[in-house]
Structure 1
Amino acid sequence: MATLPNPLPRLAADPSGRSLGLALPLGRLIDATAEGPWHEPLLWHGAYDAAPGAWTALGSPAARVGLLPVLVQTGDCQDALDKWGLRPALMSYPGDHDAEEVLAEFWEGEEIAEWDTAGDVLAPFGPDWPGPAPAGTLTADPAVRAAEVADSLLADGSLPTHGSYLEEMRLALVPARRSADIPAAIGWTGPLNHENDVARLGAVLRSWEDRFGIRVVALTPDQLVVSVAAPPTTTSDAEALAAEHFAFCPDNITQGEHDTLRTYAAEEVLGQRMWSFWWD
């Protein structure tokens, strides 16, 4: 894998980003990790909470120079991301993993038969991995849908899957090849209790980019939000994709608001333009 050039070091001497053709507001570079300072900045984020429109105004031009946008929850503390425990040294490369193999391993490693004794929680599926869901059909341009979802989060902040809210979100820019690679690129550790190498989950995100037009829109210390431009439109397709969601993030169902995969599929997957994931 060729190393992706990182434009962020140029912002140390040029905070406005003019040399990159950008007009950035006041912000800061983040190189803090759980193991100490990284050898180069992992991301830039604005100094103040973002407002609707920021994704398009700042994120779209930045993407042209290899910096992809994502909203990050900083709380009311300027050094909040310094305390996220980022671990880029743990991460491999998403392109080195096969998404279906990753999902099958997670599904079969959950020992479903031991806790879903009645076989109704994950029905119509059982202990054997059911395979990937069919691709959806685009209902919007993925970049446009991402901007819409970002604006919605900045205006309202509500996450339907968990009934929670995202507050104090700032726009960040990350050097990454594609949106699906953002979590691994910064060494995000939100799913640490489920998977240490987030690049493996990144392989799944890449597959969802290809099949469902997703983009990574927001990150908190333990939550991931993606926009969806090609959501499933039939019950069977939604249930097949819900199985992938369970393998990717079991807590969405085992500790979520829905008792069964079928209910989760109907309310959180079918036709939805945003998916959110939370790991305990």
Structure 2
Amino acid sequence: MTNTDFPTLPDALPPGRLVHAAEDLPNRPQKPLLWMSDEPVEGVAAEWTLLRAEHERTGLYPVLLEHDPDRGWDDRWYLAGNTGDLDVDPESALRTLWDQLQEVREPEEDDEDEIPEEEWPSGPWPGLARAGAGDDSPEAMADEFAVYLQGNEDFHGRTRRWRLGLIPADDGADALTLAGWDGPCNHTNSIELGARVVGLGPDMLWLSVARPPQDLDHARAVALEHFAFCPDNIWQSGNNTVDKYASSLIGVNVWTFWWD
């Protein structure tokens, strides 16, 4: 693929266009970063499933892009990476984020947004959680999750509408890096961290999880990983302690991350 080429698009896509990096990005990549449908797609889960099944042949990883008429997608691709950014050690990256959170533990004097001590995990980086166990197919779980997202409601009780995106990448984590999605930029530019990605919003990430934790000890370890990657999942939610948040992960095949 040359510097300006894009993989051949599948047939019968809805109307759409190729998207480049934001114009004011330093050293802006010249090649398109992704293809995106112009409008929300009816029956988007079935479309996503077909494109996921064709991923190995096309080299294009499909994502659902939440449609919000007040927050467009054209300027969301600020952190475009390259293949050299894909070789990331998850533990090292999460340890760095954890340590950075510990460095800013001390709130400013009279800070109204001070986080209560019990909501701020402390101490040295605890290490990665063990891998989940089970026989569920990650691909089948992701397909089911796409159906779930198609009918999901937003914070205002409105059914979410989704555009389709196609990103030249081997998997969802690589897709976030190569396309340069800026969703977690309020916390980290390390978008190399990822899992089985299904949907993106301007500042939200939806993952399907085929093998979630099944007990509280395992879930606590996973919760600490989530805290390092996305502290707002605890700080800005009803599950505002590690144990509450961990309990919400047990046996659940849906992980959502949100950066305020």
TM normalised by structure 1 equals 0.77
Task: Report if the CA contact (8 A) 2:18-2:36 is conserved.
Answer: yes
Q: Could you list the runs of 5+ residues in structure 2 that have no partner in the other structure? A: 108-113
For residue 194 of structure 1, report the CA deviation from its aligned partner: 1.3
In structure 2, distance between residues paired with 1:118 and 1:62: 45
What is aligned with 2:148?
152
Say which of 160, 164, 179 aligns to 1:186.
179
Over 3 Å counting, the alpha-carbon distance change for 1:89 and 1:56 in structure 2 is closer
What is aligned with 2:96?
105
Say which of 11, 14, 26 aligns to 2:15.
26
Over 3 Å counting, the alpha-carbon distance change for 1:81 and 1:240 in structure 2 is same
1:235-280 deviation per Cα after TM superposition (whole angstroms, max 9, x unaligned)? 100000000000011111122222201000101x111101011112
Over 3 Å counting, the alpha-carbon distance change for 1:234 and 1:144 in structure 2 is same
In structure 1, distance between residues paired with 2:136 and 2:157: 26
Say which of 125, 129, 132 aligns to 1:129.
125
More helix by share: 1
Task: Report if the CA contact (8 A) 2:66-2:162 is conserved.
Answer: yes
In structure 2, distance between residues paired with 1:88 and 1:129: 28
In structure 1, distance between residues paired with 2:220 and 2:2: 37
What is aligned with 1:64?
57
1:82-129 deviation per Cα after TM superposition (whole angstroms, max 9, x unaligned)? 13253315996131x21111111211221276469985335xx63211
In structure 2, distance between residues paired with 1:64 and 1:90: 21
Identity score, percent:
35
1:213-232 matched pairs, under 5 angstroms: 214-232=195-213
1:160-175 matched pairs, under 5 angstroms: 167-175=160-168
Over 3 Å counting, the alpha-carbon distance change for 1:192 and 1:118 in structure 2 is closer
For residue 221 of structure 1, report the CA deviation from its aligned partner: 1.3
Task: Report if the CA contact (8 A) 1:71-1:218 is conserved.
Answer: yes
TM normalised by structure 2 equals 0.83
In structure 1, distance between residues paired with 2:221 and 2:172: 23
1:127-167 deviation per Cα after TM superposition (whole angstroms, max 9, x unaligned)? 21111111101342111111111111012245xxx797772
- AA aligned to 2:90 is A
Mean Cα deviation higher: 38-47 or 184-193? 38-47
Q: Could you list the runs of 5+ residues in structure 1 that have no partner in the other structure? A: 12-16, 206-213
In structure 2, distance between residues paired with 1:6 and 1:100: 34
In structure 1, distance between residues paired with 2:190 and 2:36: 24
Over 3 Å counting, the alpha-carbon distance change for 1:10 and 1:110 in structure 2 is same
Say which of 72, 79, 87 aligns to 1:80.
72
For residue 168 of structure 1, report the CA deviation from its aligned partner: 2.1
User: What SS does structure 1 have at the residue aligned with 2:62?
Assistant: strand
For residue 63 of structure 1, report the CA deviation from its aligned partner: 4.0
1:162-216 deviation per Cα after TM superposition (whole angstroms, max 9, x unaligned)? 79777221121110122211111111111112112423xx2xx2xxxxxxxx411
Task: Report if the CA contact (8 A) 1:222-1:279 is conserved.
Answer: yes
What is aligned with 2:214?
233
What is aligned with 1:44?
35
- AA aligned to 2:119 is V
In structure 2, distance between residues paired with 1:192 and 1:223: 11
- Does residue 198 of structure 1 match 2:191? yes
- Matched residue count: 249
Task: Report if the CA contact (8 A) 2:208-2:254 is conserved.
Answer: yes
RMSD (CA atoms): 3.0
Task: Report if the CA contact (8 A) 2:137-2:210 is conserved.
Answer: yes
In structure 1, distance between residues paired with 2:39 and 2:231: 33
